[in-house]
Amino acid sequence: MKKRFLTVALSLVMGFGVAASLASCGEVREDKGELTLPDYENIEVPDYSDVVIPEDFKFGLICLHDETSTYDKNFIDAAKRAVNDMGLTSDQFIMKTGIPELAACKEAAEELVDQGCDLIFADSFGHEPFIKEAATANPDVEFCHATGVTAATSGLDNFHNAFASIYEGRYLAGVVAGMKLNEMIEAGEFTAEEAKIGYVGAYTYAEVISGYTSFYLGAKSVCPTVTMDVQFTGSWFDISAEKSTAESLIAGGCKLISQHADSMGAPSACEEAGVPNVSYNGSTFEACPETFLVSSYIDWTPYFKYIIAQAAMGEEIVDDWTGTIKTGSVKLTNIGGNAAAEGTVDKVIEIRDKLVDGSLTVFDTSKFTVNGETLTSYMVDIDGDGTKEKEAIKDGVFQESIFRAAPYFDVKIDGIKLLNEKV
């Protein structure tokens, strides 16, 4: 979940650039650059041109890390775009970075309140209880939080959760990965039965499980023999652990690597080894030009513009907001032309259109099994109280991000092997 490349990681990648630029045939491959993936054409976004922002209105942003994290950089970049689009001045936007998932988060929120913020947003899952405390203590300030689960049941009018159907973006990224696997199989680099991908995860919880499962299902939709190994680091941002985990997965026979972790560790390991890589929350093409395939990400700009407009007008903000491809919230970066298979852009556009029109659903239960059986019923915990109270399967589809914004798909499906678990 984050960007801006660390100097150390970047230098490591650059140092191996020449070696990685060699094709398997031993010849230098022509640099194809990035392949443009057009944005979805029929995006539905509100018109905020008539919204008047008071001169004394202020928006505060709380980030777990800073721009060295792909996750946080994604939020920071989106917030800056929204602030600019909505006509806020630099004095009306206050950002706090490096705020841990501890009491320091509440302290940061209170400082933003003291600085005059009318709207405060926190970007990490573990910030939620502290943001809720701040919301309770400051009923006249709007508090919003990414990936949280308790806004709808909090009883607070000024506390809100938001996320997006990023599982659809992960699925599309998986399609890109599957096409690359097919290309390598056809080239004789390995057999169809050896088509194994590796996944560097942070923690074994629903958001990560939903992400790696949708990625796997996307790959499997075009490369039916694919399997996947997942290994967790127990941290959202650990360059060394993420790099060594990726290296371990490669040594274990994984032909392609993806991640739900926030540093350049895994992409740099892939560039050094010449292994195709699907990153998350931003393109790594500049640092890893020979192995970067694509990245899915949530564009938080539409949500930030929405909450700024609502807060400025004194209007209600929904408890659970879920962005989609159609709202311009779920996106892929451009495709890495040096690594991607022929026809990838056209295939992504085709599948994206099917996801939007509903002719294709990511968690179609006919497309996966659990212990060899088709899943017909599955109860999930929606309000985070530990009780699984809601049936998630309807009409043969797991209803992800319908009952709340944050993911709750935590099913362990066949074809994916967890090498460890971190909670």
Q: What percent of the chain has pLDDT over 70?
A: 93
Mean pLDDT of 389-406: 96
Same fold, 59-164+300-323 and 166-297+329-418: yes
pLDDT at 28 over 50: no
Side by side, which strands form the sheet with 119-122?
Answer: 93-96, 59-62, 119-122, 142-146, 159-164, 320-323
What pLDDT, on a 0 to 100 scale, did the predictor assign at position 34? 94
Quote the pTM value.
0.89
pLDDT at 104 over 80: yes
Mean pLDDT of 8-35: 47
Q: Does the domain made of 59-164+300-323 have the CATH classification 3.40.50.2300?
A: yes
Mean pLDDT of 105-113: 98
pLDDT at 23 over 90: no
User: What residue spans of 296-393 are helical by DSSP H?
Assistant: 301-313, 344-357
pLDDT at 5 over 50: no
Cβ atoms of 62 and 76 closer than 8 Å: no
What pLDDT, on a 0 to 100 scale, did the predictor assign at position 281? 87
Closest CA to 407 of 109, 197, 170, 218: 170
What pLDDT, on a 0 to 100 scale, did the predictor assign at position 11? 36
What pLDDT, on a 0 to 100 scale, did the predictor assign at position 385? 85
Mean pLDDT of 346-352: 97
The string of DSSP letters for 22-52 reads B-TTSSBPP---EEP-PPPTT------TTPP
pLDDT at 7 over 70: no
Please tell me the CATH superfamily of domain 166-297+329-418, with its number.
Response regulator (3.40.50.2300)
Q: Where are the domains of the chain?
A: 59-164+300-323, 166-297+329-418
Render pLDDT for 161-216 as a digit per residue (tens, 0 to 9): 999 999 999 999 999 999 999 999 999 999 999 999 999 999 999 999 999 999 99
Mean pLDDT of 224-251: 97
Closest CA to 173 of 281, 88, 69: 281
Position with higher pLDDT, 69 vs 380: 380
Q: Return the number of other C-beta atoms located less than 10 Å from residue 369's C-beta.
A: 13
Render pLDDT for 254-293 as a digit per residue (tens, 0 to 9): 999 999 988 899 999 999 999 999 999 889 999 999 999 9
Q: Return the number of other C-beta atoms located less than 10 Å from residue 395's C-beta.
A: 8
pLDDT band for position 383 (cuts 50, 70, 90)? confident
| Range of weakest confidence among 3-7, 48-52, 353-357 | 3-7
Mean pLDDT of 223-241: 96
What pLDDT, on a 0 to 100 scale, did the predictor assign at position 24? 36
What pLDDT, on a 0 to 100 scale, did the predictor assign at position 211? 97
pLDDT band for position 373 (cuts 50, 70, 90)? very high
What pLDDT, on a 0 to 100 scale, did the predictor assign at position 298? 96
pLDDT at 320 over 90: yes
Encoded tokens for 361: 């659903």
Q: What is the gyration radius of the CA atoms in the chain, in angstroms?
A: 21
What pLDDT, on a 0 to 100 scale, did the predictor assign at position 414? 98
Mean pLDDT of 137-157: 95
Encoded tokens for 232: 């967790």
Q: What percent of the chain has pLDDT over 90?
A: 86
What pLDDT, on a 0 to 100 scale, did the predictor assign at position 30? 67
Render pLDDT for 35-84 as a digit per residue (tens, 0 to 9): 999 989 889 889 999 999 999 999 999 999 999 888 899 999 999 999 99
204-236 in b/e form (b: 16+ CB < 10 A) is: bbbbbbbbbbbbbbbbbbbbeebbbbbbbbebb
The H-or-E segment that residue 296 falls in is strand 292-298
What pLDDT, on a 0 to 100 scale, did the predictor assign at position 31? 81
| Residues 6+ positions from 247 with CB-CB distance below 8 Å | 269, 273
pLDDT at 249 over 70: yes
| Range of weakest confidence among 23-37, 196-210, 339-353, 400-414 | 23-37
CA distance 321 to 329: 11
Residue 313 Ramachandran class (φ > 0 left, ψ -120 to 50 alpha, else beta): alpha
